[in-house]
């Protein structure tokens, strides 16, 4: 193996080791952040990441919120009639 190939191989190997360390470090920080701030009760870090990765459906959220309001109004009306 020529001297230039040895140098190339060493540099590339060094770069890959640094890259691997940076990526692993980032993943640890990301997992800790998700675990601390985004995980819901009974949910794993991986489940939280999958949930967060899904696109937000504004229409579905608005519909669910309106249904909750309607149920609350209905319950209030029933409570007032008693």
**Helix, strand, or coil (residue 40):** coil
Which residues, 6+ apart, have CB-to-CB distance to 39 below 8 Å? 45, 47, 48
Dump pLDDT digits (tens) for 5-21: 999 999 999 999 999 99
Dump pLDDT digits (tens) for 11-48: 999 999 999 999 999 999 999 999 999 999 999 999 99
pLDDT band for 1, please (50, 70, 90 cuts).
confident
Angle formed at CA 59 by CA 70 and CA 41, multiple of 5 degrees: 75
CA distance 30 to 47: 14
Q: What share of the chain is helix, strand, coil (3-state, %, to 5)?
A: 85, 0, 15
pTM more than 0.75: no
Residue 82 has a pLDDT of 58
Dump pLDDT digits (tens) for 56-70: 899 999 999 999 999
**Is the predicted pLDDT of residue 81 greater than 80, yes or no?**
no
């Amino acid at each position: 193996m020529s001297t230039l190939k040895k140098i190339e191989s060493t540099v590339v190997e060094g770069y890959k080791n640094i890259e691997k360390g940076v990526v692993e470090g980032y993943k640890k920080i990301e997992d800790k952040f998700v675990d601390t701030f985004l995980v819901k009760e009974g949910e794993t870090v991986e489940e939280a990441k999958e949930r967060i990765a899904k696109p937000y459906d504004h229409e579905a959220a608005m519909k669910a919120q309106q249904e909750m309001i309607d149920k609350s109004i209905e319950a209030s009306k029933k409570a007032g009639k008693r």
